[in-house]
Amino acid sequence: MLTIEGAAAQWRPQFETHLKKLQSGSEDNIHYSVYSIAFTWAAAGHIRQANELLAQFRNGRVADPGGFQLYQDGLTVLWTLSGQRPDSISFAQRAVNEIGQDNWDDAFNPARWVWEVRQRIGNRSWKELSGLELYVKAILLCYDEHGVGHRSDEEQRKEAVQAFTRLSGSDSLGGYVLLHSMSCAAIAAASVGDSEKARAFIREWGKGYLKWPANTLTWLMRDTATAKMLLDGVLQPVWGLTAAECDVELGETLTVLKDRVQRGPSLVYGQLTLPQLLERLSPQGLKAPATETAILAAEKRLGVKLPEDYMAFLRASDGLDAADRVTPSFLPVEKIGSLKVMDKELVDIWGEALDDIDAEQAEGFRRSILIAGEHEEQQFLLVPPRGKQKEWQYWFFANWMPGIRPYQSLRFYLESVLLRREP
Overall average pLDDT of the 87-100 stretch: 88
pLDDT category of residue 109 using cuts at 50, 70 and 90: confident
Residue 1 clears pLDDT 60, i.e. is over it:
no
Q: Which of 79, 77, 80, 68 is nearest to 99 (CA)?
A: 77
Categorize the per-residue pLDDT at 24 as very low, low, confident or very high, splitting at 50, 70 and 90.
Answer: very high
pLDDT at position 384 is 96
Tell me: pLDDT of 3 over 70.
no
Q: Which of 173-177, 338-342, 388-392 has the lowest mean pLDDT?
A: 173-177
**What are phi and psi for residue 66, nearest 5 degrees?**
-75, 165
Q: What is the pLDDT of residues 130-175, one digit of tens each?
A: 888 898 899 999 999 999 999 999 999 999 999 999 886 565 566 7
Q: How far apart are CA 255 and CA 53, in angstroms?
A: 11
What average pLDDT does range 94-105 have in this prediction? 96
413 SS3 class: helix
Q: What is the largest CA-CA distance in the chain?
A: 77
Determine the 3-state secondary structure of 29 from DSSP: helix
**Quick one: pLDDT at residue 16?**
92
Distance (Å, rounded) from C-alpha 151 to C-alpha 157? 8
Q: Which residues contact 182 (CB under 8 A, 6 or more apart)?
A: 2, 164, 201, 202, 204, 205, 208
For residue 114, is pLDDT > 70?
no
The residue that leads in pLDDT, 110 or 274, is 274
Which stretch of DSSP H or E encloses residue 381?
Answer: strand 378-383
Q: Which residue has the higher pLDDT, 218 or 167?
A: 218
- Is the predicted pLDDT of residue 269 greater than 90, yes or no? yes
Tell me the chain's radius of gyration from C-alpha atoms: 25
Query: Rounded to an integer, what distance in angstroms lies between the CA atom of residue 390 and that of residue 262?
Result: 23
Rounded to two decimals, the pTM is: 0.84
- pLDDT tens, residue by residue, 276-312: 999 999 989 999 999 999 999 999 999 999 999 999 9
Fold that domain 274-420 belongs to in CATH: SMI1/KNR4-like (3.40.1580)
Using DSSP, state whether 303 is helix, strand or coil. coil
Contact 45, 220 (CB under 8 A): no
Residue 355 — pLDDT band, cuts 50, 70, 90?
A: low
What is residue 180's predicted lDDT score, i.e. its pLDDT?
A: 87
Residue type, 390: K
In this prediction, residues 343-368 reach a mean pLDDT of 81
Distance, in Å, from the CA atom of 150 to the CA atom of 156, rounded to the nearest integer, reads 13
Average pLDDT over residues 319-343: 94
Domain residue extents for the chain:
12-258, 274-420
User: What pLDDT is stored for residue 8 in this prediction?
Assistant: 41
* Mean pLDDT confidence for 379-387: 94
Q: What is the DSSP letter of 408?
A: S
Average pLDDT over residues 247-269: 93
- pLDDT at 7 (0 to 100): 41
pLDDT of residue 348: 85
Mean pLDDT of 317-329: 92
Q: How many CB atoms lie within 10 A of CB 415?
A: 23
Is the pLDDT at 6 greater than 50? The verdict is no
Please state, rounded to an integer, the average pLDDT across all residues of the chain: 88
Flag whether pLDDT at 356 surpasses 80. Answer: no
Helix (H, G, I), strand (E, B) or coil at 402: strand
